[in-house]
Amino acid sequence: DVKPNSVLYLDNVSVSFDGFKALNALSVVIEPGELRAIIGPNGAGKTTMMDIITGKTRPDTGQVFFNGQTDLTKLDEADIAQLGIGRKFQKPTVFESHTVWDNIELALNRRRGVFSTLFYRLSSEDRSRIEEILATVRLTHRRDDLAANLSHGQKQWLEIGMLLAQEPKLLLVDEPVAGMTDAETAETAILLKEIAKTRSVVVVEHDMGFIRDLGVKVTCLAEGSVLAEGSIDFVSADPRVIENYLGR
Ligand code: ADP
């Protein structure tokens, strides 16, 4: 069973580190165009789940199907990225001494294997795509500013823009709103919902206000398995979720 209509299917995935089960028969299905929030206490296995999807960590048992066919556990990290799975880590890693525009342009070129822009001319389609991405990540008015001069939240958005330039079919986003202002956090919820109109997005976050703003299906992990899954109201009313996570 590969769940042919899913974009991602973690099937019974387990992995141990020094005898400690970081993931314990974890099964999660993400539908095409879905935006899914992953919550859970520290050590629940959220990061390990992302590491398994991107091929950074190999599971001991279980499989991970992408688009209902490819088993990602057989591929290495570069091949998985090439298939269209992008990941944004918690800390923004933008090129501070480059402009906002150039950061997106560099990401666009990197996708094509072009590492020097010296002799490379952007096509008009490329320019339009960069403009479109800048609008999506709320940075059109900052396009000529150095990335170093952006706020923390804007740097997070810029990095999301750089990932969009690689046209991922599935985007994994790790704690995007940590350290953001309330206004940036609220805007990020809207932004991610817009992005999820054209791709699937999995977001790991602790900020429950943000999770509520997203208003999407939530998976709560604990001890490497799914503790509860459903709407935020459903999940946050689950006594085990309260005991293991929310009530702490
Ligand atoms: P979360 O992201 O939900 O906080 P993690 O996936 O980071 O949880 O961690 C789950 C458990 O697995 C933790 O106890 C962590 O210490 C352990 N772990 C994760 N990755 C490794 C690794 N590469 N080597 C050893 N232990 C790890």
Q: Dump pLDDT digits (tens) for 84-118.
A: 999 999 888 899 999 999 999 999 988 776 655 55
The mean predicted confidence, pLDDT, of the chain is 94
For residue 122, how far is its CA from the centre of ligand 1 (angstroms)? Answer: 42
Backbone angles phi, psi at 112, to 5 degrees: -90, 0
Q: What is the pLDDT of residue 51?
A: 97
Q: Pick the residue whose CA is nearest to atom 15 on ligand 1.
A: 43
pTM of the model: 0.94
Among 24, 26, 46, 48, the mutation site with the greatest number of ligand 1 atoms within 8 A of its Cβ is 48
For residue 116, how far is its CA from the centre of ligand 1 (angstroms)? Answer: 37
165-223 tens-digit pLDDT = 999 999 999 999 999 999 999 999 999 999 999 999 999 999 999 999 999 999 999 99
Q: Is the pLDDT of residue 119 over 90?
A: no
Q: What is the pLDDT of residue 4?
A: 84
What integer is the mean pLDDT of 61-75?
95
ipTM: 0.93
Length of the chain equals 248
Buried b (16+ CB within 10 A) or exposed e, 172-186: bbbbbbebbeeebbe
